[in-house]
Amino acid sequence: MPFKVYIKFFVVITLLTSLSSCNVFKSIATNTKKASVSFSLPNLRSSKPKVKKIKAKIPVLEIAQSDPSEIEFLENISVKPGKIYIKSASDSIDAEPTVNNAANNFERMPDNLSEVEKANWLQLKYSIKMDIAVEEINNIPLLQKIDEWWGTPYCMGGSSKGCIDCSFFTLDVMKQIYNINLRRTAAEQYLQCVKIDWSELKEGDLIFFKTEGRRNITHVGIYLTNNKFAHASTSQGVTISDLADSYWQRRLYSLGRVSVN
């Protein structure tokens, strides 16, 4: 083979070998790169799920402001401890009027008084209660009996110092002071009475009220003097009230007298 031909042949072989080597290295590099990609760790930061903070709108329940001691039920009717009344009605039932006696220091009789001093004390107390002169008070036993029950809380059907209702109060006082036997309820006591006019009214007569609209007789008291009467009030217990008060004027139904048995 001529030398020039040999040289050309050698150059061609070298070029082919070089090109083949480059392709092999390129293939290896390419495969290596692909392998490195396939085995690379995932980007944890970018793979975290995005959490969107949502502010929930909670509905607000609006509660009407009211007196905590008052409970409303049905229609237009309210109840408070010791009181029942209809707020808006033509023939309404109002709460009995209350009197603040906190400033009165004569409510309780002192324990260490003589009989004469007790009588004087009772006259002073009830002259103030009835707004009359001390000299006009003569029935001390009546005052003593009223004072025995004074302030006793009201409860329907009550007949003790724990609580008492209006008809038992009148029953007890009339029996002990006037020797008159009354029946148990206000309605029954009303039926016992002979009805009298206002001009005939005197101490010891009974006064009847309808405190629940047009229903039956529901309340009774004992007349004293100067428009005052003693009774067991639902709001104050045993006390003395004034017939001139608008509450009692609207509910006064009848005046009655029971003769001695």
Q: Which residues are the active-site residues?
A: 166, 219, 231
Tokens of 260: 């001695």
Tokens of 171: 């029953």
CA dihedral of 190, 195, 196, 202, whole degrees rounded to 10: -30
Our CA angle for 114, 121, 237, nearest 5°, is 120
Residue 219 CB neighbours (<10 A): 23
The CA-to-CA distance between both ends of the chain, in Å, stands at: 172
In angstroms, the CA 233 to CA 221 distance is 9
